[in-house]
Amino acid sequence: MKIFYGWVIVAVGIVVTCVGFGSMMSLAVFLQPMAEAMGWSRTAIATAALLNFLAMAAGAFMWGALSDRFGTRVVVVAGGALMGLGLVTASRATSLGWFQLSFGVLVGLAAGSLYAPMTSTTTRWFTRHRTLAVALVSAGLSFGATFMAPFARWLISTYDWRTAMLVLGDLVWLIVIPAALLVRNPPTTAVRVAASSSANGGPALTVGQALRTPQFAAIAFTHFACCAAHSGPIFHMVTNAIDHGVTAMAAATVFSVAGLASFSGKIVCGVVADRVGVKRTLVTGLALQAAAISLYLVTRELGGFYGVAVMFGFAYGGVMPLYAVVVREYFGERIMGAVFGGVSTVATLGMALGPVAGGWLYDGLGSYAWMFIASSAIGAGAVAVALTFRPPASVRHLAPAGGTA
């Protein structure tokens, strides 16, 4: 039986996001050993994560637009090459500035080439099971946290942080680039079906018009607040557990549990969204995320950290693929690469705030408590903005009569 090639695209998306984003997000397990080995503060190291997301924000729209024009294969190959270079160079860093430039800027810029372009390409391949396909590609982010963080922790324990980061860079070159070569554009018939679907079910807006709509602002700001809420707790999850007496390896497994829960959240919320609607599912997931973050204020034991990790991971994982579906519903597939890249740019700025703000609050106050309070409050704000979403039909009148491409 012939396999629909769209599922190959999904598999490639899972692999490149798992290895690529898993390598970038593994900085969380490098935080303590690097601080001890190099004498750098947690805030200084977390600044590399800030630069990661700022660079990814700067590149997300560019990579999305380039994938619309030149194809996702070229974009992901280029991004994989750049990410591997950034990780390998960072592993040789002898100064904080060198490390922040290599890991922060190069790796972050490269990361922008992976998720949004692969998600956009996936939506073009599917007319049925689209939400499931997007959720599976997004699941690569969860697999990255599940597998790459403990692997990096094992390498650090067995060798040192430099060897661990060097190996991650080599893996990006050896896995992401060959996988990206399997990416293809959908056949002409699939493109025609997608175009017809967009014409019948979405507004004929240009990219510029879409970026100026109130609905784009609402989606982008919701995603921003969502990411600002969970990025700090995710990044500092390991060190927070260690500060409460959990061993380093056990703390890394807490991070993995959150990643596994994130994967289940993506699949479950994707299926639920098909049945009850994307907005209702998104609002519920955002509310659960805000509640889960608040529980870190009273969690002290390993068992509690596992329990909160399940709830928190399920929530933040479940909402992430829904934004791509919302963008597709409101703006169609023709310009999705650029528009979703724009949403991702704004969201990534939110991701940039959490790690460095959490490090700053810890260094200044000696505790992560205020980070969890602020993160939970921002998460509640995301719920409030998501409740303002209007039906997609209300956006269509913004397209001019006989809208242009």
Average pLDDT over residues 65-70: 80
Please give the structure tokens belonging to residue 171: 């893996």
pLDDT at position 391:
67
| Alpha carbons within 13 A on the beta-carbon side of 261 | 21
CA distances, 67 to each of 72, 81, 197, 212, 297 (Å): 5, 16, 20, 21, 42
Determine the angle formed by the axes of helices 42-70 and 214-235, rounding to 10 degrees.
140
Coil, helix or strand for 398?
Answer: coil
pLDDT digits (tens, 9 = 90+) for 136-171: 888 787 777 678 888 998 999 999 999 999 999 999
Which token pair is 384?
């409030």
Mean pLDDT of 104-124: 88
- End-to-end, the C-alpha distance of the chain in Å comes to 39
What is the per-residue pLDDT for 384? Answer: 94
How many CB atoms are closer than 10 A to CB 36? 10
Helix axes 130-143, 302-331, angle to 10 degrees: 140
| Structure token digits, residue 67 | 């994938």
**Mean pLDDT score across all residues of the chain:** 85
Q: For residues 314-329, b (16+ Cβ closer than 10 Å) or e, as one string? A: bbbbbbbbbbbbbbbe
User: The tokens of 335 are what?
Assistant: 């310009």
* Prediction pTM value: 0.70
Spell out the residues 6+ positions from residue 27 whose beta carbon is closer than 8 angstroms to its own.
Answer: 45, 48, 49, 52, 103, 235
Residues 6+ apart with CB under 8 A from 283: 383, 386, 387
Helix ranges (DSSP H) in 202-277: 207-211, 214-235, 237-243, 248-276
Round to whole Å and give the CA distance between 31 and 53. 17
Q: How many other C-beta atoms can be found within 10 angstroms of the C-beta atom of residue 197? A: 15
Residue type, 225: A
Cα dist from 9 to 177, 179, 256, 353, whole Å: 14, 10, 25, 32
Give the pLDDT band (50/70/90) at residue 182: very high
What is the model's pLDDT at position 392? Answer: 63
Q: Which domains does the chain have, with CATH numbers?
A: 9-184+192-387 (1.20.1250.20)
Between CA 17 and CA 231 the distance in angstroms is 17
Q: How far apart are CA 310 and CA 304, in angstroms?
A: 10
Other CB atoms within 10 Å distance of the CB of residue 134:
27
Q: pLDDT tens-digit profile of 239-255?
A: 899 988 988 888 888 88
pLDDT at 12 over 90: yes
CA-wise closest residue to 327 among 195, 207, 185:
207
30: left (phi over 0), alpha (psi -120 to 50) or beta: alpha
Instruction: Tokens for 290, please give them.
Output: 């805000």
Instruction: State residue 253's pLDDT score.
Output: 86
Distance of CA 6 to the CA centre of its chain: 22
The answer to whether the CB of 17 falls within 8 A of the CB of 144 is yes
- Please say if the pLDDT value at position 116 is more than 50: yes
